[in-house]
Chain A
Amino acid sequence: GENVEQHPSTLSVQEGDSAVIKCTYSDSASNYFPWYKQELGKRPQLIIDIRSNVGEKKDQRIAVTLNKTAKHFSLHITETQPEDSAVYFCAAARVRSNTGKLIFGQGTTLQVKP
């Protein structure tokens, strides 16, 4: 069935360092890949997304890369700050011609140490 694997499960970095979270998906028909950030006790918030016709997208300190051949996408956070500490979820979906349900990875708990 549809599956998304996410690594690492926990990540601890020093403030100012970069953080990278990697995901691999199984459904080759997936065409939409969002990343959500969930702070403790709050709702998951979309921070960046990428569609299958694009290889890379950047928004300030956050970037996402997609390798469709390898069915692999990654989140890159540069110059990390303590407020980046949260659980990050990757997801994959077939949109437009399908239900659009999100298949999530297991989540990565990022801790940024001041």
Chain B
Amino acid sequence: EAGVTQFPSHSVIEKGQTVTLRCDPISGHDNLYWYRRVMGKEIKFLLHFVKESKQDESGMPNNRFLAERTGGTYSTLKVQPAELEDSGVYFCASSQVLGQGPTDTQYFGPGTRLTVL
């Protein structure tokens, strides 16, 4: 079974530019989460999808961040325009939905390292 994949692995952009990160969850996982780790600090929650619906976006820092999951499969996270403080590693994680086996375990992708210059 393929794990969670993320693209790109690295992105270097200039302040003011736009970047789109992609996450492909494990097949069949309806829960999809985005997290971010900034400068060696803790991994922080950004938002949670169940299928295509946003369940919790309380961690989104501001309206420069837009996440989508059209069709309930892969998800994208767009940052527009990017600021210096957006630099960090963006992780995606997925888990199964209640009633279909273990729901607690979140499987993480390798992350996208974003550097804003």
B-binding residues in A (CB < 8 A): 4, 6, 32, 34, 36, 42-46, 49, 51, 89, 91, 93, 95-96, 99-107
Q: Which 10 A-B pairs have the closest CB atoms?
A: A99-B56, A104-B43, A101-B45, A43-B110, A44-B108, A104-B42, A106-B42, A95-B104, A43-B108, A99-B48
Asked whether, in the complex, the Cβ of B55 is within 8 Å of the Cβ of A49, the reply is no
Point out the residues of chain B lying under 8 angstroms from A6, CB to CB. 42
Interface size bracket, B side: 20 to 34
B2-27 residues at the A interface, CB under 8 angstroms: 3-4
Asked whether, in the complex, the Cβ of B95 is within 8 Å of the Cβ of A100, the reply is yes
Point out the residues of chain A lying under 8 angstroms from B93, CB to CB. 102
Asked whether, in the complex, the Cβ of A100 is within 8 Å of the Cβ of B110, the reply is no
Q: Interface digits, B24-46 against A, CB 8 Å rule (1 contact, 0 not)?
A: 00000001010100001111110
Given A43-B111, A44-B91, A44-B108, are A99 and B44 also a contact pair (CB < 8 Å)? Answer: no
